[in-house]
């Protein structure tokens, strides 16, 4: 309960105060906190295309509608994903309600079976619907699960960035994420990551994520969204493009929209 | 669903060719303009055996599924889904048309109403769901997916949100749809089938459920008819041959289920008490308590699922208790169909699934075993996505056990199958 209260307070602080100025000697933890909250928009609906490209250049396309709402604690989100493509899983729904102090609630609705089923909590390292993104890449883990160190500053695509090295705080976090460490290039203006390099548990380069088209979508709360991301797995040669075809801020989404009742609507 | 006989062999021979040629055309008409979503699939199948216990081998079939979802507004829509099949291209009497869904759905802030043909699935367990009182199963359909077996029913369903995470579902089914079971075509006895008149006595049910905060549970109640038939000896004809009645007994059911996660482990349990009523001195089967309970766990791209099955029929009568041989014959058939060989039936299911190559290749093996007498089903399945629109499915079903056991009686249906699916 105390932990939850602290998170709420932190979230409120980041919602109300300006993010740390870039020119000062910022603390790595503060930067990562800024990164964690920078994309926590209060609610949105959108359409996403994920393109999977294998080493031979063959493409598979997944399209989905997404609806998301930030919970009252300012940390966790509820997200409802509905597949539009490919045709064999069209209508399949996926509802995840994050719980940073416990296990997430996750359900899947399979229209062919006409049934909603609760899923066991996933590992953060598990692939997000077969893409190169893991669940932990999509819904970022809390800052406290890693040790952070500011290495240097660098320019990425014209944006001044802090380069932060993050290592898991314990073996459980390492095994859950599948990462031995990661380097994050954080935009000094928006605090959104512009690039992330992931290393496996043997410290070999595993994946690189590049982030494009970062937009300030909720100026009153200084919240941003990246409309395009690209994740490349260096060990398999496979990559995934993640593109918002549509993004609409919608702070008015009700909790009732994130229920198994709504999940069963195609 | 209906079956029609006809001289369609010549046309049927062209059906697969036609379906393949139609692919690009139907792609052009597949539509998703927000208000109307039109989609479907074309399917070509080969099964090494039919599922009808009729010794028919090497069955090639073709079918098409069409799905139309139209939204009149954000709160009102219709859902139409149908399948047309020629189950065996080389033989007659194998045409099917089936409504998978055909219902109107409207919603308000707290109420959802669905009226029309729909699937009503209540169970949370994997594959075996004792609380699926409203769900008939087609055990003869020559399509590989488990979802193809569950039949929809004409019903009115109203879901009322009664709390933040709980809802009450009320269902009325004004007709009766039986399960389809494999039956030898040359039945050695004459049987009259009697189906209940749902219009005279609609089936009804209610379910209170909660989903959220790491705990899902439900309580359900049902009044209607068993979707499985009971065979009853009714007497001897003038020529001395025995006469039997196949009827669907009135049934009352109470159910409960729960799903909860313990860390990375998912726990599920589903329980039902089903009371079957015997009418007018007819033969019946015993009322029973049925529990399905188990865990599943995902590790990387693998999922492991294990469930225990426990069914207890306190009033069970051994088939030997019937002195009349005709009654005993019927009791044996009923024991096989209802899998009621003992007062206590135990068993387990296991499903191991894995995905590979970014979910391009998916594999699974399902096993269901009942003990004493031992009989089992093993069902491997491999699905390979050739592209986003084309899929190949390979699999098989291996039944084993005593001839008068649940799975043993299906040994003639052992099969391997291949399906090509083309989506549009």
State which residue of chain B sits closest to A98, comparing Cα positions: B213
User: So what's the pLDDT on residue B32?
Assistant: 60
Distance from CA of B96 to the nearest CA of A (A): 19
State the number of CA atoms in the 13 A half-sphere of B311 facing the CB. Answer: 25
The full set of domain ranges for chain B reads: 2-423
* DSSP 8-state secondary structure symbol assigned to residue B125: S
Whether A17 shows a pLDDT value over 50: the answer reads no
Distance from CA of A54 to the nearest CA of B (A): 9
**E-state strands within B146-264:** 153-161, 166-173, 190-194, 203-212, 215-225, 230-236, 242-247, 250-262
Task: Assess whether the previous peptide bond of B373 is cis (omega < 30° from 0).
Answer: yes
Query: How sure is the predictor about A24, in pLDDT bands with cuts at 50, 70 and 90?
Result: low
User: So what's the pLDDT on residue A230?
Assistant: 98
For the stretch A199-258, pLDDT in tens is 999 999 999 999 999 999 999 999 999 999 999 999 999 999 999 999 999 999 999 899
Beta-ladder partners of B280: none
User: So what's the pLDDT on residue B30?
Assistant: 57
* Structure tokens that stand for A200 in this block: 């496996």
State the number of CA atoms in the 13 A half-sphere of B178 facing the CB. Answer: 18
User: So what's the pLDDT on residue B220?
Assistant: 98
User: So what's the pLDDT on residue B3?
Assistant: 38
pTM of the prediction? 0.89
B80 CB neighbours in chain A (<8 A) are none
User: So what's the pLDDT on residue B8?
Assistant: 44
At residue B34, the 3 state secondary structure works out as coil
User: So what's the pLDDT on residue A25?
Assistant: 75
| C-alpha to C-alpha distance for A169 and A182, rounded to whole angstroms | 12
Look up the CATH superfamily of B2-423.
Answer: Porin (2.40.160.10)
Query: Which residue's entry shows tokens 């995934």?
Result: A240
Contact A107 B167 (CB under 8 A): no
State the average pLDDT for chain A: 89
Yes or no: say if B251 and B276 are a contact pair by the CB < 8 Å rule.
yes
Nearest-10 Cα torsion for A81, A48, A76, A38: -170
Among the listed residues B231, B147, B137, B127, the one whose alpha carbon sits nearest the alpha carbon of residue B179: B137
Q: At what angle do helices A28-38 and A2-16 cross, to 10 degrees?
A: 80
DSSP string, A34-100: HHHHHT--SEEEEEEEEEEE-TT--EEEEEEEEEEEE-TTSS-EEEEEEEEESGGGTT-EEEEE--T
Query: Phi/psi of residue A103, each to 5°?
Result: -85, 145
- Show Cβ contacts of residue B245 under 8 Å, excluding neighbours closer than 6 positions: B191, B192, B193, B194, B231, B232, B234, B282
Query: Which residue's entry shows tokens 């040994």?
Result: B411
Q: Using CB atoms within 10 Å of the CB of residue B383, give its burial: 0 to 12 exposed, 13 to 18 middle, 19+ buried.
A: buried
Contact B391 A114 (CB under 8 A): no
User: So what's the pLDDT on residue B198?
Assistant: 59
Yes or no: say if A217 and A225 are a contact pair by the CB < 8 Å rule.
yes
| C-alpha to C-alpha distance for A37 and A13, rounded to whole angstroms | 10
Contact A261 B167 (CB under 8 A): yes
User: So what's the pLDDT on residue B71?
Assistant: 93
| C-alpha to C-alpha distance for B194 and B183, rounded to whole angstroms | 16
How distant, in Å, are the alpha carbons of A186, A213, B211 from that of A229? 14, 9, 33
How distant, in Å, are the alpha carbons of A164, B27, B288, B335 from that of B316? 70, 55, 9, 10
Contact A256 B259 (CB under 8 A): no
User: So what's the pLDDT on residue B75?
Assistant: 92
Among the listed residues B230, B268, B224, the one whose alpha carbon sits nearest the alpha carbon of residue B250: B224
Yes or no: say if A136 and A177 are a contact pair by the CB < 8 Å rule.
yes
| C-alpha to C-alpha distance for A122 and A136, rounded to whole angstroms | 10
CB within 8 Å of chain A, chain B residues 167-196: 167
DSSP string, B367-402: EEEEETTTEEEEEEEEEEESSSSEEEEEEEEEEEE-
The full set of domain ranges for chain A reads: 2-263
Contact A266 B212 (CB under 8 A): no
Using the Cβ of B146 and the Cβ atoms of chain A, whether some distance falls under 8 Å is answered with yes
Contact A87 B389 (CB under 8 A): yes
Interstrand relation of B242-247 and B190-194 (parallel, antiparallel or unpaired): parallel
Look up the CATH superfamily of A2-263.
Answer: Lipoprotein localisation LolA/LolB/LppX (2.50.20.10)
Contact B265 A120 (CB under 8 A): yes
How distant, in Å, are the alpha carbons of A174, B299, B406 from that of A123? 11, 8, 39
Distance from CA of A28 to the nearest CA of B (A): 31
State which residue of chain A sits closest to B149, comparing Cα positions: A113
Using the Cβ of B422 and the Cβ atoms of chain A, whether some distance falls under 8 Å is answered with no
The minimal CB distance from A261 to the residues B112, B360, B424 is found for B112
Distance from CA of A206 to the nearest CA of B (A): 16
For the stretch A124-148, pLDDT in tens is 888 988 999 998 898 888 899 999 9
| C-alpha to C-alpha distance for A153 and A151, rounded to whole angstroms | 7
Q: What is the ipTM of this complex?
A: 0.87
Query: In chain B, which stretches have pLDDT less than 70?
Result: 1-34, 92-94, 185-188, 198-200
User: So what's the pLDDT on residue A15?
Assistant: 43
| C-alpha to C-alpha distance for B149 and B136, rounded to whole angstroms | 8
- Show Cβ contacts of residue B285 under 8 Å, excluding neighbours closer than 6 positions: B230, B249, B276, B313, B334, B335, B338, B340
Apex A138 CA angle, A133 and A143, nearest 5: 120
For the stretch A40-61, pLDDT in tens is 999 999 999 999 999 999 999 9
Contact B360 A114 (CB under 8 A): no
| C-alpha to C-alpha distance for A127 and A106, rounded to whole angstroms | 15
Query: Phi/psi of residue A7, each to 5°?
Result: -65, -40
Query: Phi/psi of residue A69, each to 5°?
Result: -140, 135
How distant, in Å, are the alpha carbons of B13, B30, B52, B99, B350 from that of B62? 10, 20, 18, 17, 31
State the number of CA atoms in the 13 A half-sphere of B392 facing the CB. Answer: 6
| C-alpha to C-alpha distance for B403 and B259, rounded to whole angstroms | 36
Q: Using CB atoms within 10 Å of the CB of residue B174, give its burial: 0 to 12 exposed, 13 to 18 middle, 19+ buried.
A: middle
């Amino acid at each position: 309960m105390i932990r939850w209260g602290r998170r709420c307070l932190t979230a409120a602080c980041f919602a109300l105060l300006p993010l740390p100025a870039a020119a000062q000697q910022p603390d790595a933890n503060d930067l990562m906190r800024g990164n964690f909250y920078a994309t926590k928009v209060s609610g949105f609906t959108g359409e996403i295309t994920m393109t999977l490209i294998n080493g031979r250049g063959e493409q598979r396309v997944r399209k989905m509608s997404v609806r998301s709402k930030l919970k009252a604690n300012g940390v966790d989100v509820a997200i409802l994903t509905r597949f539009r493509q490919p045709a064999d899983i069209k209508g399949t729904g996926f509802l995840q309600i994050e719980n940073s102090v416990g296990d997430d609630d996750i359900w899947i609705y399979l229209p062919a079976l006409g049934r909603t089923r609760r899923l066991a909590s996933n590992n953060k390292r598990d692939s997000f619907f077969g893409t190169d993104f893991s669940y932990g890449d999509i819904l970022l883990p809390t800052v406290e699960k890693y040790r952070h160190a500011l290495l240097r500053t660098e320019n990425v695509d014209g944006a001044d960035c802090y380069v932060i090295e993050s290592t898991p705080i314990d073996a459980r976090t390492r095994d859950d994420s599948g990462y031995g460490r990661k380097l994050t290039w954080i935009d000094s203006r928006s605090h959104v990551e512009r690039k992330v390099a992931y290393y496996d548990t043997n410290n070999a380069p595993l994946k690189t994520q590049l982030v494009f088209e970062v937009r300030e979508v909720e100026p009153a709360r200084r919240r941003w969204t990246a409309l395009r991301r690209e994740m490349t797995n260096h060990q398999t040669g496979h990559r995934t493009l993640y593109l918002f075809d549509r993004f609409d801020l919608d702070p008015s989404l009700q909790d009732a929209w994130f229920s198994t009742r709504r999940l069963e609507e195609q | 669903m209906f079956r029609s006989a006809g001289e369609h062999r010549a046309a049927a021979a062209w059906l697969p060719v036609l379906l393949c040629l139609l692919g690009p055309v139907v792609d052009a008409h597949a539509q998703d303009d927000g208000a109307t979503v039109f989609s479907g699939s074309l399917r070509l199948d080969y099964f090494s055996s039919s599922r009808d216990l009729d010794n028919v081998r090497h069955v090639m079939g073709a079918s098409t599924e069409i799905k139309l979802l139209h939204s009149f507004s954000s709160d009102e829509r219709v859902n139409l889904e149908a399948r047309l099949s020629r189950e065996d291209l080389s033989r007659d009497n194998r045409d099917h048309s089936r409504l998978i869904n055909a219902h109107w759905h409207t919603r308000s802030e707290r109420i959802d109403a669905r009226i029309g043909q729909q699937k009503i699935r209540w169970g949370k367990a994997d594959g075996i769901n004792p609380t699926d009182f409203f769900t008939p199963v087609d055990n003869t359909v020559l399509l590989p997916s488990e979802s193809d077996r569950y039949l929809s029913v004409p019903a009115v369903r109203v879901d009322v949100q009664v709390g933040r995470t709980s809802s009450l579902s009320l269902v009325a089914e004004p007709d009766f749809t039986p399960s389809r079971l494999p039956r030898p075509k040359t039945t050695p006895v004459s049987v009259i089938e009697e189906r209940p008149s749902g219009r005279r006595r609609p089936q009804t049910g209610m379910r209170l459920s909660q989903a959220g905060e790491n705990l899902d549970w439900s309580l359900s109640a049902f009044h209607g008819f068993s979707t499985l038939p009971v065979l009853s000896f009714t007497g001897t004809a003038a020529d001395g041959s025995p006469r039997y009645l196949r009827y669907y007994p009135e049934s009352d059911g109470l159910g409960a289920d729960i799903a909860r996660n313990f860390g990375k482990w998912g726990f599920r349990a589903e329980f039902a008490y089903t009371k079957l009523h015997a009418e007018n001195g007819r033969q019946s089967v015993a009322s029973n308590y049925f529990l399905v309970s188990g865990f599943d766990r995902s590790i990387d791209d693998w999922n492991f699922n294990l469930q225990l099955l426990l069914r207890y029929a306190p009033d069970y009568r051994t088939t030997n208790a019937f002195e009349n041989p005709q009654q005993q014959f019927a009791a044996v058939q009923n024991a096989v169909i209802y899998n009621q060989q003992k007062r206590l039936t135990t068993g387990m299911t296991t499903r191991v699934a894995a995905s590979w190559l970014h979910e391009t290749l998916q594999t699974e093996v399902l096993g269901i075993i009942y003990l004493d007498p031992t009989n089992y089903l093993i069902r491997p399945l491999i699905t390979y996505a050739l592209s986003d629109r084309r899929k190949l499915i390979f699999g098989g079903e291996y039944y084993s056990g005593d001839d008068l056991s649940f799975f043993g009686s299906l040994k003639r249906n052992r099969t391997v199958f291949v399906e090509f699916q083309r989506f549009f």
